[in-house]
Amino acid sequence: MNPKLKLEQLNIHFGSSHAVKDVSLEFPANTVTAIIGPSGCGKSTVLRSINRMHDLTPSARVTGRVLLDDADIYDRKVDPVAVRRRIGMVFQKANPFPAMSIYDNVISGYKLNGRVNKSTMDEIVESSLKRVALWDEVKDRLKSSAMALSGGQQQRLCIARTVAVQPEVILMDEPCSALDPIATLKIEELIDELKEQYTVVIVTHNMQQAARVSDFTAFLYLGELIEFDVTKKIFTNPAQTRTEDYITGRFG
């Protein structure tokens, strides 16, 4: 099976610092892949290169190839805006638009496609909120501010907003690090459901989380890919001693 997403010899520099070194990875469709590693290992940097978020940082330079369905998203002819519509992203800290209602937040990305009629929007808002198991909690107050929601609800709202755009890949950058255990559990269950429709890549510093939610795990250390394998294997029988040292808590 062809991978949905493929990194080939990915190198990322910020000014003179070499943050990501020769990383090659493959993400099969409809799977969850976790990227783990200690702080500063470049895991978020790798993730953000997959939907060209580094384009916004003038000092960043990305070389190598990122293939989505065998097409290089860093090709000259590719529009980063089009890439981001196919590859959505959820951030560490929930970032709903504060001046918008719950409803408007969910539909904000979808509306960028052009004019849509009210009934289509209603349908998309409902299905997206149901998808993230938020519908029952908010269906009576869709017009109230998104800021009235709890942290976990806000994060699920952000996922709903991403899902509403109907991307193919969803990137998650430590989506639970600001949440309590119950909210975290809800998001983790959600990730498991999301992979039926999407290819998910999640960065986490929580190894239990990686073990719980992912099918594959990549371990990054100091900008290099140390090991990439089926999650079960990484956590039970890693090939590299550095991986073992990290997952057993000897450093990191």
Partner 1 sequence: MSDRVSVAMTDRRVIKGDTIFKGIILALASSIILILLIMIFEMVKESLPAIQKFGGRFLIGREWDAVQGEFGALDFLYGSVLSSLLAILLATPLSVGAALFITDIAPRKVGNFIAPVVELLAAIPSVIYGLWGVLVMAPWLQQSIQPWLVEHLGFLPFFQGAPYGVSMMAAVFILMIMIIPIITSITKEVLLAVPVSQKEAAYALGATRWEMVRLSLIPYARSGVLGAVILGLGRAIGETMAVTMVIGNTPQISLSLLAPGYTMPSVIANEFAETTSKLHASALMEVGLILLVVTLIINVMARLLIWSVTRGDTGARA
Instruction: Catalog residues that contact partner 1 under the rule CB under 8 A.
Output: 51, 53, 56, 58, 81-82, 84-85, 88-89, 91, 93, 95-100, 108-109, 112, 145, 147, 158, 161-162, 165
Alpha carbon of 132 to those of 39, 188, 224, 235: distances in Å?
A: 29, 11, 34, 28
Q: How far is the CB of 139 from partner 1 (least distance, A)?
A: 20
Q: How far is the CB of 59 from partner 1 (least distance, A)?
A: 9
Biggest distance spanned by C-alpha atoms of the chain? 57
Cα(175)–Cα(197) distance, rounded to whole angstroms? 19
Q: What is the dihedral of CA 143, 121, 199, 5, to 10 degrees?
A: -120
Q: How far is the CB of 93 from partner 1 (least distance, A)?
A: 6
Q: How far is the CB of 224 from partner 1 (least distance, A)?
A: 26
113 Cβ partners below 8 Å, 6+ apart? none
Q: How far is the CB of 140 from partner 1 (least distance, A)?
A: 18
Minimum CB distance to partner 1 smaller for 59 or for 248: 59
Q: What number of residues does the chain have?
A: 252
Minimum CB distance to partner 1 smaller for 163 or for 211: 163
Minimum CB distance to partner 1 smaller for 100 or for 222: 100
* Paired tokens of 10: 């990915």
Minimum CB distance to partner 1 smaller for 7 or for 157: 157
Minimum CB distance to partner 1 smaller for 56 or for 182: 56
Q: How far is the CB of 66 from partner 1 (least distance, A)?
A: 16
Minimum CB distance to partner 1 smaller for 19 or for 234: 19
Q: What is the dihedral of CA 197, 94, 12, 198, to 10 degrees?
A: 0
Q: Is the dihedral of CA 237, 238, 241, 247 positive or negative?
A: negative
